[in-house]
Chain A
Amino acid sequence: MHTLMSRRREVWGSEGLIESSLDDVTWDQVKGIRLEWLDRTDKFYIADRWDLLSSTSKGQLNSFRTALRDLPQDHDEANTAADNMPEAQEWFMDA
């Protein structure tokens, strides 16, 4: 599975992991990632590609995009929206 947005920040030095924290994100950042993945998955809805998908894949795609669309109404804060972004199936990355 592919994580769309991780707020985790790690600082590494010569002795390994020095510190770990969570970045604050803005709604603009959340919106940018959300739009990127809606764009990226649009192509699967073209008829010739859609017809090749299994019912499982179609369900994964529809659920993923619905969750993305619902983010602004489901979360008041950008940070919580980022933390609750749906994960993408690896096959969504296909060109």
Chain B
Amino acid sequence: MPLPDADKKSPRVYTNLQNLDLDSVTFANIQSTGNPIAVEEMNEDEMRRLVLVNLARLVTAGEWTGLLEAGGGGDYNPVLPNQAISAGSAANLAILSGYPPWGNGNVGATVLYGSTSGNKIYLYPFVAPSTITVSNLEISITSAAASTCLGLMAFYNDNGSGAPGTLIGKTSVDVESTGVKVLTAFLDSSDDATDIDLTLGTTYWFAMGRSADSVAYSYNGTNAYARPMVSFADAPNFSANAHTSLRTISSMLAMPASFTMTDLEPHSLGTMVAGIN
């Protein structure tokens, strides 16, 4: 029996797919059948048949990826700020440490400790506000290192489980003077030049550290008091802010290619404000 009020003739859908069963028909079959069908009233019957066959295919195959993602259910939908809001504005930086869901805009001068406990890599997650190849990474150093020291910064992929994965790119800068540092060159894990390519709505991790043992410097950082947790906790009676960033347990004075999960721990250090454009 045809669909209600439908022409019994199916010029494409049933004609093209007639020798396939629901277990073997593929999305490519559906796509190639539907691709030439224009969205207009005279094609309503064929579009209904196409939806019906694809739904039956998904039910049979138990494969809902296309339905869930192509339909919009799986995308990250909030639009995060990624443009200047007035003509001639100098406000052209996307502040990764300030955007939801991980960041906040409450900032202040923050010290990277002048002891061995600061010889670690500190990380926080962010969601990319746009698809971008990073031209500039900007940070603000508020208290200079007293001796030779590089501030280390890097971008990591998420490992798919809400923890830092592989290195995308890293950079470093002399922190023996204060002010805004604009970093324009990035290296991969082999120290070859690379691009930092970020995709809208994807979770990444920003990492910071230093190159010299126990040399303190300060930077403009986000206040941990308003940051969400970025890790599991042992129990519900943890102390305030204890899980608002991650850091390595081992001392590291260089950015690694990736992290060992057992070498990471939650921490409370106010994380570096990082802007990109």
Contact = CB atoms under 8 A, between A and B. Distances in A.
Interface in B124-182: 140-144, 171, 173-174, 177-182
Nearest to B184: A13
Contacts of A8: 177-180
Interface majority SS (helix, strand, loop, mixed), chain B: strand
Interface in A3-46: 3-4, 6-14, 17-18, 23, 36, 40
A12 B177 contact: no
Given A12-B173, A14-B193, A6 B178 contact: yes
Contacts of B144: 3
A58 B188 CA distance: 49
B184 A3 contact: no
A2 B112 CA distance: 13
Given A3-B143, A12-B185, A40 B108 contact: yes
Contact of A93 (B177, B185, B218): B218
A7 B185 contact: no
B218 A12 contact: no
Indicate the size class of the contact surface on chain A: 20 to 34
Interface in A58-75: none
Contacts of B255: none
Interface string B185-196: 100000001000
Interface string A63-92: 000000000000000000000000010100
A1 interface: yes
A79 to B, nearest CB: 14
Size category of the binding interface on chain B: 20 to 34
Nearest to B137: A12
Given A36-B108, A40-B108, A1 B143 contact: yes
The residue among B178, B179, B218 with the most chain A CB atoms within 10 A of its own CB is B179
A93 B173 contact: no
A12 B143 contact: no
Given A1-B143, A12-B185, A93 B109 contact: yes
A11 to B, nearest CB: 4
Given A14-B193, A36-B108, A3 B178 contact: yes
Contacts of A7: 179
Nearest to A7: B179
Given A2-B218, A11-B182, 15 more contacts: A1-B143, A2-B109, A6-B142, A9-B180, A10-B177, A10-B180, A10-B181, A11-B184, A12-B173, A12-B183, A18-B184, A40-B108, A90-B111, A93-B109, A93-B111
Interface of B: 108-109, 111, 140-144, 171, 173-174, 177-185, 193, 218
6 nearest A-B pairs in the assembled complex, by CB-CB distance: A8-B179, A14-B185, A6-B178, A6-B179, A11-B182, A2-B143
